[in-house]
């Protein structure tokens, strides 16, 4: 038996559990974002910033189909988050 087997088994099991958890959380977040965006398509609000109401620029929207905010509001949010 390889001397690392015991250690490797536990570490790999931990790693698998962690990855599964992360994957699940990410999938849930992305699903919620996608569903939210679909609702906005239904209501006609899609493509407009939720914060300032401006059109979200197309480049940003193409890169992030479920974007809720225009790039300037999104960067303001990030700056606020950094400050607090
Ligand atoms: Zn905005």
Predicted confidence (pLDDT) per residue in 3-50, tens digit = 999 999 999 999 999 999 999 999 999 999 999 999 999 999 999 999
The answer to whether the CB of 67 falls within 8 A of the CB of 60 is: yes
Which residues does 50 contact at the CB level (< 8 Å), separation at least 6? 68, 69, 73
CA of 7 to the centre of ligand 1 (A): 51
What CATH number has the domain bearing residue 62?
A: 1.20.120.910
User: In which residue are the tokens 């001397």 written?
Assistant: 3
Give the model's pLDDT for residue 82.
57
Number of structural domains the chain divides into: 1
Per the structure, the complete domain to which residue 22 belongs is given by 5-83
CA of 28 to the centre of ligand 1 (A): 25
Residues having C-beta closer than 5 Å to ion ligand 1: 49, 51-52, 70, 73
Query: Is it the case that residue 83 has pLDDT exceeding 60?
Result: no
CA of 46 to the centre of ligand 1 (A): 13
The answer to whether the CB of 69 falls within 8 A of the CB of 77 is: yes
CA of 48 to the centre of ligand 1 (A): 8
Judged by DSSP in three states, 8 sits in helix
């Amino acid at each position: 038996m390889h001397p690392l087997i015991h250690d490797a088994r536990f570490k790999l099991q931990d790693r698998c559990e962690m990855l599964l958890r992360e994957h699940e959380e990410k999938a849930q977040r992305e699903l919620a974002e996608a569903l939210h965006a679909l609702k906005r398509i239904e209501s006609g609000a899609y493509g407009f910033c939720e914060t300032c109401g401006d059109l979200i620029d197309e480049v940003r929207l193409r890169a992030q189909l479920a974007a809720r905010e225009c790039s300037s509001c999104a960067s303001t949010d990030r700056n606020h988050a950094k400050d607090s």
